[in-house]
Amino acid sequence: MSASSLSSVTTLTNLRRLVWLRFLMAALLGISTLVAIEFYDLDIPMRIISSAAILALVVNLTTLWRLRHSTTVSNPELFIQLLLDILILTAVFYDTGGYSNPFIWMFLLSIVVSAVALPWLYTWVIAGVSIACYSSLMFWYKPLNLMMSKMIGMDGMAGMSDHDMPMSSMPMDHTGFGIHLVGMWAGFVVAAVVIAIFVERMAFNLREHDRLLAETREKMLENERMLALGTLAAGAAHELSTPLSTIAILLQELRQGHSKDELDQSLEIMTKQVDVCKQALLSITLSGGNVRAEAGQRTTIRIFLEQVLQQWQDRRPGIVMQTKLSGIEPLAVITDRALGQAFVNLLDNAADASPQAVEVDANWTATDLVLDIHDQGEGLDISTLHQIGQAGFTTKEDMGGLGLGVFLAKSVIERLGGTLQFIMRETGGTLTRITLPLDKLKV
């Protein structure tokens, strides 16, 4: 599974967990409301409690229904649902005592979920909105009626001093309880900031670890495929070497026994094709499956590219190839057989898509090489762009393609520190761009 796929699955899991957390919060608020009414005679406005519970239920059911029909979940969707939870809690707390409500700590749940599941920017927005809502509830709220008059009577309250009055009837700012509430607010702000900083950083490190682990596993699978292909290639080299040598001898005898120009031309092409095959097999045998052929010769980047392009042109003589090579001169490098074969594979792909012509534009500096291959084919759709380069994926089933050419080319280029991109051209066709640092090829 790729890193992007892993991220999508993680976001989906987090949204499902948020749904069940919302169910738990609604149940907790419902139970606490019943306890407050039955045991503490609090005058709880059931209208706002019922409305919040129904809204949370609708959001949850809608989310569950959508998740059954689609598995694509984005970070903004999770962020919006967390903001909705904060607004629902703010409305409930406004009608149930504001910042004196003992369940106001629930604001922290949204911050924790955001810190664990979302990037830092979303977390700081969630933390800021939560602090703003909590702070607003210190000044704008409907106080709870503790119904103390039912227990002691209005006449009894008339003879009480400020010290003896029920807490709900006294100005909060002039009591120890008021100081306690302000301390709760300060503690909430500190907790929100700490969560936004440290928990978000720890969650980011975990997500980064998961991403790197997924990439490592993907690289290991690619290495296993490359090892298997290398073993098969070495075996094929030994098996094909003898029949190719026999064919080469027979072709030489045919050329000597016939003098017709047309036959000579055909035999010349066939001889070049056999030579190319023998050279490819020789490269496999010499390199022994290594990505970097240590026996490579010293040359310049221009000569290396010219040799690769000429060898490919000999293999595909019917393709018109337009080349443009430009860069600093001379830039000495060590030829790399595997890299040359990677270029050939990509040129073959472009020629298969655009048999009429292929354009090659190479530009290099002292540090990097950029090689662009333009074809005039039908281009690639979005789905193909995401899958191309994976082992076994091919768009040439009707031509007997095995899906190995681009995969091998991509593996070689990435092992040398480069990148391979496929870009849709506005004028039609596909641009294959190879960006390669030259530090591993320099003399």
- pLDDT band of residue 370 (cuts 50, 70, 90) is very high
Whole-number Å distance between alpha carbons of 405 and 380:
16
pLDDT greater than 90 at residue 214 = no
pLDDT greater than 50 at residue 239 = yes
Q: What is the pLDDT of residues 332-354, one digit of tens each?
A: 887 777 788 888 888 988 888 88
Can you give the pLDDT at residue 49? 83
Can you give the pLDDT at residue 160? 46
pLDDT greater than 50 at residue 61 = yes
Can you give the pLDDT at residue 388? 74
pLDDT greater than 50 at residue 152 = no
Residue 25: count of CB within 10 angstroms of its CB: 20
Task: Kindly indicate whether the domain formed by 298-437 is annotated with CATH number 3.40.50.1970.
Answer: no
- pLDDT band of residue 428 (cuts 50, 70, 90) is confident
Whole-number Å distance between alpha carbons of 366 and 75:
41
Highest mean pLDDT: which range of 99-103, 334-338, 363-367: 363-367
Between 149 and 57, the higher pLDDT residue: 57
Can you give the pLDDT at residue 33? 81
Can you give the pLDDT at residue 86? 92
- pLDDT band of residue 364 (cuts 50, 70, 90) is very high
Can you give the pLDDT at residue 112? 86
Domain ranges of the chain: 3-219, 228-287, 298-437
Can you give the pLDDT at residue 159? 47
> Quick check: pTM over 0.75?
no
Can you give the pLDDT at residue 332? 80
Q: What is the pLDDT of residues 156-206, one digit of tens each?
A: 444 444 444 444 434 444 455 666 577 677 777 777 777 777 677 777 777
Can you give the pLDDT at residue 24? 83
Between 76 and 218, the higher pLDDT residue: 76
Percent of the chain with pLDDT over 90: 9
Can you give the pLDDT at residue 13? 77
Can you give the pLDDT at residue 371? 93
Q: What is the pairing mode between strands 332-334 and 419-424?
A: unpaired
Average pLDDT, the chain: 75
Burial 403-413 (b: 16+ CB within 10 A, else e): bbbbbbbbbbb
